[in-house]
Amino acid sequence: MIFGQGKTPDQIKQITKTILDTSGKVVVTRAEPAAYEAVIEWVPDALYDPIARVITAISEPNQNPVSGLTVVCAGTSDLPVAMEAILTAEVMGCEVNRIFDVGVAGIHRLFDKLDEIQNSRAIVAVAGMEGALPSVIGGLVNCPIIAVPTSIGYGASFGGIAALLAMLNSCAPGITVVNIDNGFGAGYSAANIVLANNNK
């Protein structure tokens, strides 16, 4: 994994090639288009997601991805963080079920997807504003939930601190919380849970 923010395109290009040659897969987060243009000079098969601002590359794509991971996103404003989690988990070998725009302000949308959510082996729940989505999901499922607060919201959300504190204070069981906007950390953790369970 490479945290791209603050690095030059040339630095990202060189680090990407080094990691890919060593491990066969790489994820670059917080990457700008200029970094991607530099990377594809040496890694022409690399992909770029402009919403997540993530570069991914895999030497040998996994032919049998492991299912059971669901990423649930409260609102479309939270999509960049959700996509970062998804792309990370996919590079690690997971098939990710995507459920977007099911925030608690229109909770019927969440209930419409309840069967899919309850069939998950691990869930990443991404939400800003008051950060209620992971708590609601936590009362409906019996699998691990990785909660991701985002920096989306009006002034009193304090750049995601309100959502972070709400998730940390959830009374729903099975919730683990990562840092604000840390889609990578959530995707990595959830993928490890699913992959470990698959090997049992």
Residues 114 and 168 placed together within one structural domain of the fold:
yes
How large is the average pLDDT for residues 122-137?
A: 93
How large is the average pLDDT for residues 28-48?
A: 93
Q: Output the pLDDT for position 77.
A: 92
Which residues form the domain of 12?
A: 2-58
Among 37, 58, 79, which residue terminates a domain? 58
Whether 88 and 102 have beta carbons less than 8 Å apart is answered as: no
Report the number of distinct structural domains present in the chain.
2
Whether 174 and 111 have beta carbons less than 8 Å apart is answered as: no
Contacts of 98 (CB under 8 A, 6+ apart): 70, 71, 73, 82, 86
* Global pTM value: 0.92
Q: Output the pLDDT for position 59.
A: 86
Q: Which two tokens stand for residue 195?
A: 């992959």
Residues 80 and 14 placed together within one structural domain of the fold:
no
Among 15, 38, 58, which residue terminates a domain? 58
CA dist 182 and 195 (Å) reads 20
Whether 55 and 46 have beta carbons less than 8 Å apart is answered as: yes
Please, what is the average pLDDT of the chain? 92
Residues 89 and 153 placed together within one structural domain of the fold:
yes
For the cut 70, the answer to whether the pLDDT of residue 151 exceeds it is yes
For the cut 80, the answer to whether the pLDDT of residue 198 exceeds it is no
How large is the average pLDDT for residues 32-59?
A: 93
Share of the chain above pLDDT 90, in %: 74
Q: Output the pLDDT for position 199.
A: 67
Q: Output the pLDDT for position 200.
A: 60
Among 36, 58, 80, which residue terminates a domain? 58
